Amino acid sequence: MKIEAKELSKIYGEGESLVTALDRVSLQIMPGDFISITGPSGSGKSTLLHLLSGLDQPTSGRLTYDDKDIYSLSDRERSALRRRSIGFVFQQFHLLPVLTARENILMPLLLDKRQPDEAYLEQLSKLLGIGGRLTHLPHELSGGQQQRVAIARALITQPDVIFADEPTGNLDSKSGGEVMEILGKVHEKMGKTIVIITHDSRVAGMANRQFSIVDGVLAQKAAQKWSLR
């Protein structure tokens, strides 16, 4: 799936409390891309990810998935499309505390009235190293394991694209490294497109295209650093 944003802007509030969270951002996300976006706190990173994934609506601008205008769809059509083609990974995991890992992972399918594919669940659990943890509740898991469960939940609907908003932000450096290794495999072995927000330059370095955002303005970083000498 190709995702194209044209001049997306998001303005919150009005008058003196007006905030331009996103300022005419254009971006093409091609199948198989691994894109990183870095930027200071409050620069518009989460806003951009929410807009690109159709979780929120822009004040102005266009967003297309395979040339289909997302905001010309009804709310219902748009959320159905989002549920099937996009997986979202949050910094805070957002697992439901009373459900087991397995139940959390399968939740998006239940919401979409789809049957679980046991073979795919097993394959995912293996890839993510959580096969032995599926009957555990979130509080019985380490942070890194919880985030891996959340990644499995994002992948269970077989989406084309994974959006991750600071997925290692709540993890120590070792678990963060493991989570990134897994996202690398999700890109390489499963062929998923990945768009990741991060503060970690090591993480950003894994991407094939790196962007930065400052005050709502997105800019691509040079693909390579050139020496002036």
Q: Of 42 and 131, which has the nearer Cβ to ligand ADP?
A: 42
Does 47 sit near ligand ADP (CB under 6 A)? yes
Contact 54, 80 (CB under 8 A): no
- Binding residue for ligand ADP, selected from 1, 11, 19, 55, defined by CB under 6 A: 19
What mask, x for binding Mg ion by CB under 5 A, covers residues 4 to 43? ----------------------------------------
Answer yes or no whether residue 43 interacts with ligand ADP by CB under 6 A.
yes
* Sites for ligand ADP among residues 188-207 (CB under 6 A): none
3-state SS, residue 4: strand
Instruction: Please list every residue from 36 through 75 that binds Mg ion, using CB under 5 A.
Output: 45-46
Q: Which of 39, 28, 61 is nearest to 161 (CA)?
A: 28
- Map residue 169 onto helix, strand or coil: coil
Q: Does 12 bind ligand ADP (CB under 6 A)?
A: yes
Q: Which stretch binds ligand ADP (CB under 6 A): 37-45, 122-130, 149-157, 217-225?
A: 37-45
Interacting stretch for ligand ADP, rule CB under 6 A, among 41-49, 67-75, 101-109, 121-129?
A: 41-49
Cα(101)–Cα(150) distance, integer angstroms: 9
- Token pair for 5: 């944003």
d(CA 229, CA 226): 9
By C-beta, is 13 or 205 nearer to ligand ADP?
13
Of 41, 74, 173, 227, the residue at the interface with ligand ADP (CB under 6 A) is 41
Q: How many residues bind ligand ADP (CB under 6 A)?
A: 12
Question: Does residue 144 bind ligand ADP (CB under 6 A)?
Answer: no
Closest residue by beta carbon to Mg ion: 46
* Torsion angle defined by CA atoms of residues 71, 72, 76 and 81, in that order, rounded to the nearest 10 degrees: -70
Distances (CA, A) of 102 to 109, 149, 189: 12, 8, 22
| Tokens matching residue 196 | 């990741």
d(CA 208, CA 221): 11
